[in-house]
Amino acid sequence: MIEKTHKSRRGFPEEFCKEIVSRYRAGESIPALCAEIPVSRSTLYRWISLYTEFRRNSGKTVTLRDINHLIEENRMLTEENKVFRHCRCHPSDPLKIKMEEMKKWKDTFAIHALCRAMNVSRGTFYNFLFRSKPKTVYEKTDETLRPLIRAIFEESKERFGANKIRIKLAKQDIRVSAEHIRRLMNEMGLIPKQARLRCFNSTNRKYMYRRNRVMQNFVQTAPNLLWVSDITYARINRDFYAICVVIDIFSRKVLSYKISDKNDTALALAAFQIAFIARNRPPGLTFHSDQGLQYSAYKFRKYLRDCGVTQSFSNPGTPYDNAVAESFFSIMKREELSHNYYHSLEELDETVAGYVDFFNGMRPHLKMGNMTPDEIEQRYYERAEESDHIGKLD
């Protein structure tokens, strides 16, 4: 006979309950056990139900209590996973950010689940809900700015930093400093795409003298006076494909692009033809590029000459002579190409097309008065129409 164990505040110890159940399974009767232990028959039957062991195929024994514990644990983990999917914060974030986010979801999820998932004590969270101080003007301003900043950041596909977002907000008549935006972006975990690009340069090639008619003069008074072009590479699986673009210097607008598995004259010629036809074969055009074989080939030079286009070349080993095209590729790699792995030409083409639309229609240019290429050209043609109208009236 075992000694009676006094009940604690939470009941009998688990080992004691298991020992009583073992004695029942060994043949002792319920009345005899109840007479020895000061518990009711219903309590003893509940112990038998909870602590009777079952042997699994693996040989391990489990009890109904173990199963109930696993069910409850699975329920709690499911709740926490739902919280993680909806809350835009992480348990390692500052406490204030976590509790602000938890407050948004307190009517959707149980307080226990929110606090477990975010590793916040319930007392701390309840104090935040019911004893928090009135929000200051600065806190209210931050609350207003956060969704606006996030919307612009996501619309740019995570490419815009604080300076670009400041420009976009200014166009909505919202004046805020870049430092303020940068702080809120850090708090929300909004990190723009970054990439370290490796640059390769070859200087062992012999170049012919070809005239540079631009001389780094990248300021033009109208569209279709000076176009520039360049070629870069992007990887599809294990192969490299060439991307050729044509850009109008006046607005920095990408007029055309072409992708090919061969970096040859046909690629450069196709890109130029797309832009030239789309712009209705503009007269008085100068076309500038580096002295790559694609542009200096007789076939390419003859085609431009037959179209009445004046050709210009960068000086050997001077990438600044074609800085606009070089800059575009640098930005596209940093903001898009370096963050993706492409499995097909269709994927790469879709990505480049989407980025060109973004670059022309959404991305503001600091050197162009924080306007997009499309806005610059639209303003030019609107002013031209106004001048024509005034001229007709005179």
* pLDDT score, position 93: 83
Quick one: tokens of 132? 């928090």
- Residue range(s) defining the domain that contains residue 166: 137-188
Question: Which residue, 107, 131, 155, sits at the end of a domain?
Answer: 131
Residue 203 lies in a domain: no
Measured between alpha carbons, how far is 143 from 384 in angstroms, rounded to an integer? 43
Q: Are residues 365 and 262 in the same domain?
A: yes
Q: Are residues 157 and 248 in the same domain?
A: no
Q: Is the pLDDT of residue 198 over 60?
A: no
- The mean per-residue pLDDT over the stretch 47-51 comes to 77
What are 358-383's pLDDT values in tens digits?
A: 999 998 888 888 889 999 999 998 88
Measured between alpha carbons, how far is 394 from 391 in angstroms, rounded to an integer? 5
Q: Are residues 254 and 360 in the same domain?
A: yes
Q: Are residues 145 and 118 in the same domain?
A: no
Measured between alpha carbons, how far is 16 from 47 in angstroms, rounded to an integer? 10
DSSP strands (E only) in 237-333: 239-248, 253-260, 286-289, 310-313
Q: For the domain that residue 364 is a member of, what is the CATH number? A: 3.30.420.10
Q: Are residues 126 and 147 in the same domain?
A: no
**Exposed (0-12), middle (13-18) or buried (19+): which is 61, by Cβ within 10 Å?**
exposed
Q: Are residues 182 and 285 in the same domain?
A: no
Determine what percent of the chain is predicted with pLDDT higher than 70. Answer: 87
Question: Which residue, 95, 112, 131, sits at the end of a domain?
Answer: 131
Quick one: tokens of 215? 């001389």
- What's the number of domains the chain is made of? 3
* pLDDT score, position 8: 37
Closest among 235, 233, 234, 278 to 254, alpha carbons compared: 278
What are 336-357's pLDDT values in tens digits?
A: 888 888 899 999 999 999 999 9
* pLDDT score, position 389: 63
pLDDT interval class at 206 (50, 70, 90): low
What are 81-140's pLDDT values in tens digits?
A: 888 888 878 888 888 888 888 888 888 888 888 888 888 998 888 888 887 567 778 888
- List Cβ<8 Å contacts ≥24 apart for 373-379: 373/248, 373/251, 373/252, 373/253, 373/254, 374/251, 374/253, 376/250, 376/251, 376/252, 376/253, 377/223, 377/250, 377/251, 377/253
Q: Are residues 238 and 374 in the same domain?
A: yes
The mean of the pLDDT values for the chain is 82
* pLDDT score, position 7: 44
Residue 158 lies in a domain: yes
- The answer to which of 135-139, 173-177, 258-262 has the lowest mean pLDDT is 135-139
Q: Are residues 104 and 176 in the same domain?
A: no
Alpha carbon 39 to chain centroid, angstroms = 62
* pLDDT score, position 82: 85
Residue 304 lies in a domain: yes
Closest among 251, 291, 250 to 268, alpha carbons compared: 291
**What separation in angstroms does the CA of 278 have from each of 168, 224, 246, 345, 372?**
29, 11, 12, 23, 20
Of residues 317 and 288, more confidence is placed in 288
- The mean per-residue pLDDT over the stretch 50-69 comes to 67
pLDDT interval class at 196 (50, 70, 90): very low
Q: Are residues 104 and 127 in the same domain?
A: yes
- The mean per-residue pLDDT over the stretch 255-284 comes to 93
Determine what percent of the chain is predicted with pLDDT higher than 90. Answer: 23
Residue 262 lies in a domain: yes
**What separation in angstroms does the CA of 168 have from each of 105, 182, 324?**
30, 14, 23
* pLDDT score, position 209: 57
* pLDDT score, position 394: 58
- The answer to which of 109-113, 202-206, 390-394 has the lowest mean pLDDT is 202-206
Of the CA atoms within 13 Å of residue 295, those in its CB half-sphere come to: 23
Q: Are residues 122 and 147 in the same domain?
A: no
- The mean per-residue pLDDT over the stretch 66-85 comes to 79
Residue 306 lies in a domain: yes
Question: Which residue, 131, 154, 175, sits at the end of a domain?
Answer: 131
Residue 122: DSSP 8-state: H
Is the CB of residue 317 less than 8 Å from the CB of residue 203? yes
Is the CB of residue 299 less than 8 Å from the CB of residue 270? no
Q: Is the pLDDT of residue 201 over 90?
A: no
Is the CB of residue 322 less than 8 Å from the CB of residue 289? yes
Q: Are residues 120 and 163 in the same domain?
A: no
Q: Is the pLDDT of residue 181 over 70?
A: yes
Residue 230 lies in a domain: yes
Q: Are residues 242 and 353 in the same domain?
A: yes
Is the CB of residue 245 less than 8 Å from the CB of residue 230? yes
Measured between alpha carbons, how far is 158 from 153 in angstroms, rounded to an integer? 5
What are 300-331's pLDDT values in tens digits?
A: 999 999 999 999 998 877 778 888 888 898 88
Choose the most confident range, by mean pLDDT, from 236-240, 271-275, 290-294, 325-329.
271-275
